Structure 1
Amino acid sequence: MATIKNSVRLMGNVGMDPDVRTFDNNRKMVRLSIATNESYKNDKGEKVTDTQWHNIVFWGTQATMAESYLKKGDAVIIEGKLAARNYNDKDDVKRYVTEVVVNEFVKISSKE
């Protein structure tokens, strides 16, 4: 049960091609976003789709696999944990971001 404390599972579509970075120690990181959609009917009976965007981060072997196999439009399932961080942008404004750090992922389908 210890791993349930910070666990996220999402199924969605990749919103951008992987942004790949390699650091001095040859450690690789990949960032991308995925969109999840939830549909429901409003009070008027009209179908409404709510899209949520999620920041996703892959490290190491998972990053290498994401770089090789994922591209914009692909359907994917990811499992990972939430991580919050902050940074100062180019205008020295403090920004806060929450990301999903991936433990595992499965590509469901390709856009092609």
Structure 2
Amino acid sequence: MSAFLRQTSFSYKLARSFSSSAARRDLNKIQLIGRVGSDPISTELSDNRRVYNYTLATSETRPGKDDSIIKRTQWHRIVYWSNNDWFSKVKKGDLVYVEGALRYADYVDKEGVGRTKAEITQTSFRLLNPSRPKEEEQE
């Protein structure tokens, strides 16, 4: 019986079944669903590029003591580089899906202290549910 058994060596390769691009070992990808916390601020740069900056709130809930619910909200800084004007229609309160990469930037604050900020460079966006105008909310 042992004549039929032979040792086989396996080599594992990092592969992705959903893409035809080359496999990578590193991944920097963030996916968020949340509410836009501020209307995007558009800035046109000297080289005619446009950048949008806005905040996004994500919330999670968990059970607390005495059947209470604890809600925790995280705020995320989002940066979107685009010359498309359609993004100016995004408003505070919109429910959105954002995909991007986490980036860190070092800077010196007003007091001369070195700091690091984290922000997400947006690569994909989907408007899930626009916010209602204030007039509609009161009806």
Say yes or no: TM over 0.5: yes
TM-score in terms of structure 2 length: 0.73
Q: Counterparts of 1:16 and 1:3 in 2: how far apart (Å)?
A: 35
| One-letter code aligned to 1:42 | G
TM-score by length of 1: 0.89
Partner Cα separation in structure 2 for residue 3 and residue 81 of structure 1: 15
Residue identity matched to 1:18? P
Q: Does 1:52 align with 2:101?
A: no
Q: Is residue 21 of structure 1 aligned with residue 29 of structure 2?
A: no
For residue 9 of structure 2, what is the aligned residue in structure 1? none
Distance 2:36 2:26 in 1: 25
Residues 1:98 and 1:43: Cα distance change in structure 2 (over 3 Å) = same
More helix by share: 1
Where do 5+ consecutive residues of structure 1 fail to align?
none
CA distance in 2, matches of 1:19, 1:46: 37
Taking only the aligned residue pairs, the percentage that are identical comes to 31
Question: What is the letter of the counterpart of residue 48 of structure 2?
Answer: N
Larger Cα-atom Rg:
2
Within the alignment, does 1:101 sit opposite 2:124 as a pair? no
Which structure shows the higher strand fraction? 1
Aligned pair count? 110
| Long gaps (5+) in structure 2 | 1-22, 133-139
Aligned counterparts of 1:64 and 1:2: Cα–Cα separation in 2: 33
